[in-house]
Chain A
Amino acid sequence: MLRRTMMLLMAGDAATSCTRVAPTVSTIVLPSAPPPTKIERLLIWFPANDSAVDAKKMADAFAVQLAPFGVAVKAGRSTALELDRGDDQKPFVVAFKPTHRLEIDVAGSVSIGGMAGTNLLQSALRVSLYDANGKTPIRAYTLPHRPNTDSASVTLIVEKLKADGYL
């Protein structure tokens, strides 16, 4: 009986793990978000290192995919053990004069391995949109992200921004 139950559990789990569900962007409800305004100049802020996302590939993908909407893009990134992001972003804001900021943070990452080494399986990204000098996000999304799918993740984010009236 126990052996049969274990076999069924393992079979079910194997079946679930074999069927790859396409990632979707989930919107985090923000209680007092103002009506959307078109993004003209977007400062994109990336995590400190490329362990979860490839910042250059993502930045390039954003530039290409936002160009048809007339959006200029500038990329910056956090420092390791960042304390005050606002201070770090100031030079970019002064020089580039963005209308909006898009901050991409890694909410968590899962790797698998053991003594032979580890491989990154998946990360959860939190993508937050701000007005140029805003301190609270006007839109926030979560998105599962796998290595080497940077362009696909950008597509999902751009589609979401368009659907929400920002492009």
Chain B
Amino acid sequence: MFRRLALIGAATAFLAGCSSPVGGGPTNKDQGYHQKISRILIATAFRGQLLTARQANVFIRPAELQKSLTAKWSPLGITWQTVDLDAVTDKPKALADAIASFNPTQVLELKTTIYALVGGGIFEVVDGYNVDASLVDLATKKRVWRSVIEFRPFARGGRGRTGPAAMALSHQDDADDLIDTLTAKLKADGLL
């Protein structure tokens, strides 16, 4: 009886400590900007300089992001294309080439900033991270909107992003949550 109560208590405490795995912080918008997103290039730079290739397995893969965008933004009538800046050495050129060929109205730049590590030695893995999201209007070449999206560590968000022995996992859930969070924020700011 006591053991059962203790287990129920522990489970309740754990669930109470978990918020959603992906969450958004404040946003900043140019109050004079009102152009809705219809043709957008999404440029991702998730892999940071401070991480190993194995640690970088924690991030959303291009195909996973594209699957989320197909499911969530295409039905909204948004024409989009992605460019993975982690896959190239000359990032400014790759971005300029993508803009020239796709001719978007805006670019949404997604790049990681802070990484939270857990473990140690060869088992040191990324547990959570932040993504800086900046919307740039290409007519003025100015940033018109910005936000930070938090991919919460396991202890706070309840989602593990690395398998046993640092094995890579699917991050489709993270990709879906990222697009859902961005959609909600951009709609709230009148850009979608």
Contact = CB atoms under 8 A, between A and B. Distances in A.
Interface of A: 9-10, 13-14, 17, 80-84, 106-115, 118, 121-124, 142, 144
B148 interface: yes
Contacts of A111: 114-117
Nearest to B120: A112
| Chain B binding surface SS class | strand
A113 B116 contact: yes
A83 B49 contact: no
Given A108-B112, A110-B115, A10 B122 contact: yes
A80 B132 CA distance: 12
A80 B30 CA distance: 14
A81 B147 contact: yes
Contacts of A124: 48-50
In which size bucket is the chain B interface? Answer: 20 to 34
B50 A83 contact: no
A84 B136 CA distance: 10
A13 B50 CA distance: 16
5 contacts: A81-B26, A81-B147, A83-B146, A108-B112, A124-B48
Contacts of A14: 121
Given A9-B122, A10-B122, A13-B121, A108 B143 contact: no
Contacts of A83: 28, 30, 142-146
Interface string B104-135: 00000000111111100110100100000000
Contact of B49 (A80, A115, A142): A142
B170 interface: no
Interface string B33-53: 000000000000000111100
A83 B115 CA distance: 23
B114 A108 contact: yes
A110 B112 CA distance: 11
Given A14-B121, A83-B143, A123-B50, 11 more contacts: A9-B122, A81-B28, A83-B28, A83-B145, A107-B48, A108-B50, A110-B50, A111-B115, A111-B117, A121-B117, A124-B49
